């Protein structure tokens, strides 16, 4: 009698364990599916964008630095995105990994709330490209260590710059440049304050950089 | 003593049981027109380095080792491949926007430079996938030049 209880017990545990693992398996398959869908979707976009050859942005200077034109258009809809970007920037200035990561989350939310239905044709295509890239950078900023956050911030700065070029802003911003960032290749960033506070080095080289342009 | 026997038995049953859970393989014999190698007209030397060191997780075709059929190893690998492809899929390169290509090139360079890619857990078993210092230099120099192609 006792023997059979033990066997039944073992079988029951094994059954439960199996059920649990196979449930996980299913869930994973579902996730795969979701991701697949979104991948297909984004592929569509990039396909679409691909036809859109470089037209007007050919902003390479002789050293490979990117000079960025700024649209003077006053646009309030981009403000939440810019605010989130500034939050990331300030996290990096303070060399605060957690605050930077939080800024990344805020940026993802801001992008998801952005109403792009008003954007037409080429503007929409370009917005989608910028969004796709900025989203990817933000996702990495959320989950990475500070040095890696800084690398993605450099690309993100280009994206946000281009977004402002494309759509405009009502904010007063300063476009700063530090020649030592990005392995001495130099990198831009945007700041809401006039004083130079370097997000690429933080306290190590807080004052490195200069204002290249003022927006609004 | 009896309790250990029971635990061992349960573990065995579970281990055997999970072997029956089907997994999907990351395999494809399609030649992608959008593949990194075709789009960029890559030389044989560089091609083989990428294919050996990167393509197992960053393309639609993995060269699986014999033990890939054993669970939970198969799950572990599946996860890695899935994540790797979401991050960068060389087969899809031509579909990426120029903005994305540029950002990917930047990430490839920094990952290789920092020794983060290929993953050490991968090169531990795939000794061939490990990039020597001269390989790294060669790849970084070559891919850095590629950046100029994707001006934006």
A37-48 pLDDT per residue, tens: 433 333 344 344
Predicted pLDDT at A1: 45
Note whether A14 contacts B21, CB cutoff 8 Å.
no
Note whether B97 contacts A46, CB cutoff 8 Å.
yes
Residues of A in contact with B96 (CB under 8 A): 46
Residues of A in contact with B110 (CB under 8 A): 151
* Residues A9, A3: Cα–Cα separation, whole Å: 10
> In this predicted model, which residue has the larger pLDDT, A174 or B66?
A174
Confidence of residue A69 (pLDDT cuts 50, 70, 90): low
Map residue A60 onto helix, strand or coil: strand
Residue B30 burial (C-beta neighbours within 10 Å; 0-12, 13-18, 19+): exposed
B100-123 pLDDT per residue, tens: 888 898 889 888 988 888 888 888
Q: What value does the mean pLDDT take over residues A136-151? A: 91
Residues of B in contact with A50 (CB under 8 A): 94-95, 97
Please, what is the average pLDDT of chain B?
Answer: 85
Please, what is the average pLDDT of chain A?
Answer: 73
Predicted pLDDT at A30: 40
> In this predicted model, which residue has the larger pLDDT, A55 or B57?
B57
* Residues B38, B147: Cα–Cα separation, whole Å: 16
* Residues A126, A103: Cα–Cα separation, whole Å: 24
- The neighbouring-strand residues paired with A211 are A176
Q: What value does the mean pLDDT take over residues B90-98? A: 89
ipTM: 0.73
Residue B40: closest CA among B151, B152, B143: B143
Q: Write phi, then psi, for B145 (nearest 5 degrees).
A: -65, -30
Percentage of chain B exceeding pLDDT 70: 96
Predicted pLDDT at A71: 53
Confidence of residue A36 (pLDDT cuts 50, 70, 90): very low
Q: Looking at chain A, how many residues does it have?
A: 216
* Residues A207, A192: Cα–Cα separation, whole Å: 15
Nearest residue in A to B24, CA atom: A29
Predicted pLDDT at B137: 86
Residue A146: closest CA among A195, A104, A205, A111: A104
């Amino acid at each position: 009698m006792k023997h059979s209880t033990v066997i039944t017990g073992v079988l029951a545990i094994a059954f439960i364990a199996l059920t649990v693992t196979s449930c996980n398996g299913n869930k994973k398959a579902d996730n795969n599916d979701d991701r697949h869908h979104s991948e297909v979707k984004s592929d569509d976009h990039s396909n679409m964008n691909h036809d859109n050859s470089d037209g007007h942005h050919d902003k390479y200077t002789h050293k490979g630095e990117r000079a960025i034109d700024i649209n003077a258009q006053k646009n309030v809809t981009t403000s939440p995105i810019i605010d989130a970007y500034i939050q990331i920037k300030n996290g990096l200035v303070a060399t605060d990994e957690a605050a930077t990561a939080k800024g990344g989350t805020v940026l993802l939310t801001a992008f998801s709330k952005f109403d792009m239905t008003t954007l037409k044709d080429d503007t929409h295509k370009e917005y989608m490209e910028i969004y796709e890239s900025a989203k990817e950078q933000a996702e990495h900023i959320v989950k990475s260590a500070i040095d890696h956050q800084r690398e993605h911030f450099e690309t993100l700065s280009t994206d946000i710059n281009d977004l402002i070029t494309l759509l405009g802003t009502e904010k007063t911003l300063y476009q700063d440049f530090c020649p030592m960032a990005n392995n001495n290749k130099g990198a831009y960033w945007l700041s809401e304050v006039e004083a130079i506070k370097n997000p690429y080095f933080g306290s190590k080289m807080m004052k490195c950089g200069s204002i290249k342009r003022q927006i609004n | 003593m009896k309790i250990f026997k029971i635990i061992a038995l349960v573990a065995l049953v579970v281990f055997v049981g999970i072997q029956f859970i089907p997994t999907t393989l990351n395999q494809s014999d399609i030649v992608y027109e959008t593949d990194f190698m075709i789009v960029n007209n890559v030389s044989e030397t560089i091609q083989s380095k990428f294919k050996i060191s990167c393509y197992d997780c960053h393309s639609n075709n993995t060269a699986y080792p014999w033990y890939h059929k054993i669970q939970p190893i198969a799950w572990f690998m599946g996860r890695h491949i899935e994540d790797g492809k979401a991050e960068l899929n060389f087969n899809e390169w031509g579909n990426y926007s120029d903005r994305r290509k540029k950002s990917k090139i930047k990430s490839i360079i920094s990952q290789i430079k920092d020794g983060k890619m290929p993953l050490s857990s991968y090169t531990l078993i795939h000794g061939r996938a490990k990039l020597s210092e001269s390989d790294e230099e060669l790849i970084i120099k070559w891919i850095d030049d590629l950046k100029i192609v994707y001006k934006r």
